Structure 1
Amino acid sequence: MTPVQALVTALLPDLAHPYDSSTPPNPDAPRDLLVRARTGTGKTLAFLIPAVEHRIRAVEKHAESTVRSSDLSSSILAGRVRNSFRKRFPGALVLSPTRELATQIAGVALKLTDHHKDFQVNLFVGGASKGRQLSQWKNGHRDIVVATPGRLRDVLENDSDVRESMKSCNFLILDEADTLLDMGFRDDIDAIVKFLAPPRTRQTFLFSATLSRRIRQIATTHLSPNHQFLDAAPPVSGTDLSIDQLKDNARVPWAVDSDDELVTHAHVPQHYTPLPSPDAQIPALLRLIAHDQLIHASKSKIIVFCPTTHSTAFFSTVMREFAADGTLPAKNTRVFEMHSKLTQAARQRASREFRESPITSSSQKHDWRLRKGRGSAGPTVLVTSDVSARGVDYPHVTRVIQLGIPSSEALYVHRVGRTGRGLSSSPLPESQEEPPHRSDMLLLPWEAGYFSRHLQQCPVKALPLETLESQVAAAATAPSCRYSKVAIYGTSSTDGNPSSEIKAPSDDNATSADKQPDSLSTRFRSLLPLLDAEAIRQTAASLLGHYLPLAGPLHVSGQKVLSGISDWSRTFGVDMGKPSQAWLRRMGIRLEDKADSRRTRFEDLIGSSLQKHRADRFPVQRIDKRRKDDKKSQPRTMSFRSQRVRNNSV
């Protein structure tokens, strides 16, 4: 049992008593809770156990009072009363910031109540059919309701049945409250609470990773004055936070301006690699993935964070191609894609399959999901935007890779927190050379100053490209390596000539017909003729929108960012085009076309970028497949020829 679970369950059974208007309230009995708990420490069970117990007690209490008032003692009558009550009146309402986290909570609730007959969980989340959700609501039991604020507010305001039923909801749980506020759901929360039972009859739990001023404000608004504070994540040893300090809105040490995962996952090794040029990005990413697979074999489970939705779609398509042509050590690598533009069904499928992988135990090798293609016995890679950065629990993630900088320091910490979840902060044993979890970040040239100006409190170390190459070489030649004919290159990926190729010990799956792989740079170039130019332009435009507002924190000019994105686009053999002067001015870039002006003209800026890439460096024949029915807001994934062009493929 984790600390947060022990703190909450210690208050049972008093914590789960339903409200009784016939008895005066006991001020000493636990009721409303403000809980600080780190993500990945089992807090979902901590609030679901009292919620389920509260629901069971409320149903039994109503059945007993109804049977007693009818002067009948019939088990059939009691069963009918219970069934009617569960269909009319809802149990606990759990508000979650994202649909992925809400779906995860609903799944945990169903597993927890598996031994309770016909216990049901209602889910109200965006991206799924509202009609189907309302149909399940009207036809099933309303034991627990899990929802995202936007969808629930919409349903409450437009459906009379949900609105009337939720008036009797007297148990509210706000999970990841700091994230709810960060995502701008404060108004939605206030509006939803008005549809619930009044505060004197309602029980409220507020779970948060941090105790910022905004968290204390919402606690003052929605919790009873005598609510109980449980601290399952004290920031400093020996630091006590009294409820009086919280009521006085005093500054809580460490928790106001930083995040708990900064301390929780400080033991996760964190590295950043400054890249000499944009064309080193893909080869370096492949080396990081290969390094993790060489260490963890089939248990390798990697999350790659991309800064935008378009870049997520772009890099996921690139990674699928490299996984398919044998570039990675594991030939059965599965690549999943996750971003906000996917349908809810696609997001749930990718989340479920990535969460369940890898399936390696002997008892699961012949599972029906594997035969149906729903499971994976090999390494997996999830390429995702920041929809997976907070709250969602993916177990056994071995590495987090960040492409580019996040929009905030807290987001960086949350990304790192996707690995090493639930582990203690004890140091790594000296006998273990490679840590089981790790975080890496690849920085393009204009991002190189990010760590020198930000995140000094994080244990982040520089990892030069040459050191990364030597790490991969050492992992490939280790006696424990399971993969054969792994190409390792001692030179930088910007140099087209491999300096060495080292063969790892062979396995039983290797055949004599297999060819030695080319260098990663050569593989990268062989992919260029297959890219969709429009997908690259859309990705470049989205990167401009992401990086230009961050030019100030990066201490670089907007012109340098613009030039860097242009370099990145030309790395793939595509001219990203010319943004309008009006758009550039709105983004804070002013380019004047005057003979006596010292400002660089846009054409000169792009031209200087072109000079950096010789025409014969990447001989590319682009295939521009435009689809007229594509929506501009949808990320365009790359298109490949039906007959793939590969050089020396495995």
Structure 2
Amino acid sequence: MFSQLELDDELCRAVAEMGYANPTSIQQLVIPDAMEGYDILASAPTGTGKTAAFLLPVCQYLLDHPKHTEGSARALILVPTRELANQVAEQAQAIIKYTDLSCGVITGGINYGTDRAVLEQRPDIMVATPGRLFEHIEKETFDCRDIESLVLDEADRMLDMGFSSVVYQIAAEARWRKQSMLFSATLEGRGVREFSRDLLNEPKTFDANASRKEKAKTLQWYHLCDDLAHKDALLEHHLQHSIESCIVFVKTRERLHALKDKLMKQFSLAYLQGDMPQDKRNAALASFKSGDVKILIATDVAARGIDVPNVSHVINYDMPRGADVYVHRIGRTGRAGAKGIAISLIEAHDYIWVGKIQRYTSESFKPRVIDGLKPKHKAPKLVKKTKPKSKAKRKSKASSTKKRNR
């Protein structure tokens, strides 16, 4: 029970209204130490309640230590994308519903007049993307001196997107903070380790494994595709059968628009890409979340931070650039213990990803066929790369050959 975590009744009441009866694994691990004021370094699978794991202790601290003078934000949550910023802000608003706390959000893609209105409200909690927030710091329209809690959510994604130097600068501006928390999909990368070393002070580290109830129940398989026409036929077959809500991932904006133009002749759909105006992005997500359209085509901008309940299918029309991105894509379905299906459409040049994904996820990744759409070609054989012999070994072999020839 959340009440056993010594959270205020107002927070417990809001969490109960949000439909959460018991804390998840990551929440049970993080919240007690975070409420004691320790810095936190944590990793947890997608869809396991990570956002509330940092929001609840931050809100509890703000309630325990009310501000006595009018000032700037006291808690800053940095996230890599606009969609994730809006999602975190929505969850924060729900959690603080019965308190006097306030939350604001600042992201790129929004006009500066909207930002000015948010900043003038002086919210207790600010959720922001690094680039736009740093613009306000440079213009002296946002002051970090009152920041007491700094949270970096999806830190590995921020590194991937090239935000590391900006994050360091923001952290330096908020150097009087009392607590820092860093959450990442993985704690293994060098960049995340450096973030932790430079920004956290003797953190408590948690690498949470979801309980069986929380783990995504996602069935995964792939179809071998002879060519693009075969791939399109397989995709259309799935979209016509048993699709309740589906995200189709493509690798480029050009591919997105080509596919969108093909599918719009048969299906009602929305699409999401990186350079869309914010109002259009919001409208696309809103139509998909509401169920007005059941198909969302997206580039990898949507692979993180998009939390849409009850996505029944994820289809990889194009394979991603890495096995970690594959995991984030399919994490859009099967969330919080729900069942989901992830299907990959693999042409010969993408077949190398079959082995890579199996090794990365340690899960079965098998082919399936559909009657009438069976591939004409067999899967290509993967040639194992042999490691070149080291210089020392080559010298040793040459030396032994000389001895034998004497």
Q: TM-score if structure 1 supplies the norm length?
A: 0.51
In structure 1, the partner of 2:10 is: none
Q: Which has the higher contact order (CA 8 A, sep 6+)?
A: 2
Task: Check conservation: 1:312, 1:384, Cα contact below 8 A.
Answer: yes
Cα offset, 1:147, TM superposition = 0.6
Within the candidate set 176, 179, 183, 1:207 is matched to 183
- 2: distance between equivalents of 1:169 and 1:491? 58
- Does 2:144 match 1:136? no
Structure 2 distance, partners of 1:453, 1:197, is: 41
SS in 2 for 1:160: coil
- The residue type paired with residue 192 of structure 1 is I
Structure 2 CA distance for aligned equivalents of residues 7 and 449 of structure 1: 37
* Counterpart Cα distance in 2 of 1:187 and 1:341: 22
CA–CA separation in structure 2 for the residues paired with 1:460 and 1:493 = 17
The reply on whether 1:307 has 2:307 as its aligned counterpart is no
> Residues of 1 paired with 2:261 and 2:221: CA distance?
25
Equivalent-residue separation in structure 1 for 2:272 and 2:230 (angstroms)? 24
Check 1:340–1:453 CA distance in 2 against 1; reply closer, same or farther (3 A cut). Answer: closer
Match of 1:94 among 62, 66, 77: 77
Q: CA deviation at 1:131?
A: 2.8
1: distance between equivalents of 2:183 and 2:351? 37
Name the counterpart of 2:135. 154
Alignment of 1:376-525 (within 5 A): 376=292, 380-423=294-337, 436-452=339-355, 455-456=358-359, 457-464=362-369, 468-469=370-371, 490=372
1:42 equivalent in structure 2: 49
TM-superposition CA deviations, 1:562-617 (whole Å, max 9, x none): xxxxxxxxxxxxxxxxxxxxxxxxxxxxxxxxxxxxxxxxxxxxxxxxxxxxxxxx
Residue 283 (structure 2) aligns with: 349
Q: Which whole-Å CA distance do the structure 2 matches of 1:32 and 1:3 have between them?
A: 18
Structure 1 equivalent of residue 17 of structure 2: none
| Residue identity in the other structure for 1:172 | L
Residue aligning to 1:364: none
The whole-number CA distance in structure 1 between the counterparts of 2:249 and 2:365 is: 17
Question: Which residue number in structure 2 is paired with residue 231 of structure 1?
Answer: 207
| Aligned residues of 1:122 and 1:133 also touching (Cα < 8 A) | no
Matched position secondary structure for 2:264: helix
More strand by share: 2
Instruction: Provide the rounded CA distance (Å) in 2 between the counterparts of 1:193 and 1:38.
Output: 26
Q: Secondary structure at the match of 2:47?
A: coil
**Runs of 5+ unmatched residues, structure 2:** 1-22, 377-381, 384-406
Give, in whole Å, the separation in 2 of the partners of 1:232 and 1:449: 30
Q: Contact 1:308 / 1:385 at 8 angstroms: preserved in 2?
A: yes
Measured after TM superposition, the shift of residue 454 of structure 1 is 5.6
Cα drift, residue 209 of structure 1: 2.1
User: How many residues align structurally?
Assistant: 352
Identity, % of aligned positions: 29
> Once superposed, what is the RMSD of the aligned Cα atoms?
2.6
**Aligned with 1:230: secondary structure?**
strand
Partner amino acid, structure 1, of 2:112: K
Describe the superposition over 1:535-560 as per-residue Cα deviations: whole angstroms up to 9, x where unpaired.
xxxxxxxxxxxxxxxxxxx98xxxxx
Q: Secondary structure at the match of 2:223?
A: strand
Measured against aligned partners, the alpha-carbon deviations of 1:7-66 in whole angstroms (never above 9, x if no partner) come to 23334xxx45xxxxxxxxxxxx5421112222211111111111122222332xx44xxx
Structure 1 match to 2:391 = none
Alignment of 1:13-28 (within 5 A): 15-16=34-35
Q: 1:453 to 1:222 in 2, by over 3 A?
A: closer
Distance 1:491 1:179 in 2: 37
Distance 1:91 1:400, change over 3 A: same
> Max radius of gyration: which structure?
1
Q: Secondary structure at the match of 1:337?
A: strand
In the TM superposition, 1:76-87 aligns within 5 A as 85=70
- Letter of the 2:61 counterpart: H
Question: Where do 1:112-261 residues align within 5 Å?
Answer: 112-117=95-100, 119-138=101-120, 140-157=121-138, 159-162=139-142, 165-198=143-176, 201-212=177-188, 213-225=190-202, 227-233=203-209
> Which of the residues 87, 90, 95 maps onto 1:104?
87
Which one of the candidate residues 32, 35, 42 is aligned to 1:10? Answer: 32
Separation in structure 1 between the aligned mates of residue 65 and residue 353 of structure 2, nearest angstrom: 54
Q: Which runs of 5+ in 1 are unaligned?
A: 17-28, 64-83, 238-262, 294-299, 324-333, 358-375, 425-435, 470-489, 495-553, 556-650
Cα distance between partner residues in 2 of 1:56 and 1:167:
19
Return closer, same or farther for 1:172/1:322 CA change in 2, 3 Å cut-off. Answer: same
CA distance in structure 2 between the partners assigned to 1:52 and 1:146 by the alignment: 13
Give the C-alpha shift of residue 446 in structure 1. 3.4
The Cα offsets for residues 64-91 of structure 1, whole Å up to 9 and x where unpaired, read as: xxxxxxxxxxxxxxxxxxxx52xx2212
CA distance, structure 2, for counterparts of residue 347 and residue 9 of structure 1: 33
Q: What amino acid is aligned across from residue 398 of structure 1 in structure 2?
A: S
Cα distance, 1:185 vs structure 2: 1.5
How far 1:103 moved relative to its partner?
0.7
